Structure 1
Amino acid sequence: MKPLKTKAEVRAELEQAIASYMSGGGEVNAVPRGLSGNPNNVNIFAQGFNSRSSESRTPVPDTVKALEERKHPVKPKPRRPKRKLIKDDFGEPLRWVWED
């Protein structure tokens, strides 16, 4: 495991960096308003985005449906027993029984 720096060590490093900056002049250059840090003034975030697709896409709804079903499987509900009335030959109720 890599040893971590203590607060005193970090503070000493910062003090040393500030001292070396101040000994070298210690002056911040003024940057005119509206000037970009990007030398070519190009949107750097647009490089990874291509608006035209180089390949035609193949629809795969069956595969997507199978993947979604695996993500959220349908759990079978536990069957509850039902109560059934038993009648005699004349239609008169005799008793209740439970069926699975």
Structure 2
Amino acid sequence: MHNIGMNKRRSKAEIRRELEQQVLDYVRDGGEIKSVNPGVSGLEDGAVIRPSFNDGRPAQTRTPAMDVLAAIDARRKQSKPERKSHTKTKPRKRVIYDDFGEPLREVWEDG
């Protein structure tokens, strides 16, 4: 059985040979390979160049929001009123046991 329609993946050795051949072709056609010391970055001063986001409008001044944030924090820290716990109004069945742990009878108690 053959894998019909499946392409064989290239091995790392094949990729290395292909890259080596491309480098040799480049040098043969007059290209020059410069030697670079190990650990040297290709970035200027080692800084990544990140273009700032610009949608065409001029930069706006920021609105100070410290007083608003302080008010929000103050509200958050205020003690919340305690809620009354919901008392169960349904009667509950309670089993009464004797001294030996055997159940004697069942008694209904109010919540």
Q: Taking structure 2 as the reference length, what is the TM-score of the superposition?
A: 0.29
Q: Taking structure 1 as the reference length, what is the TM-score of the superposition?
A: 0.31
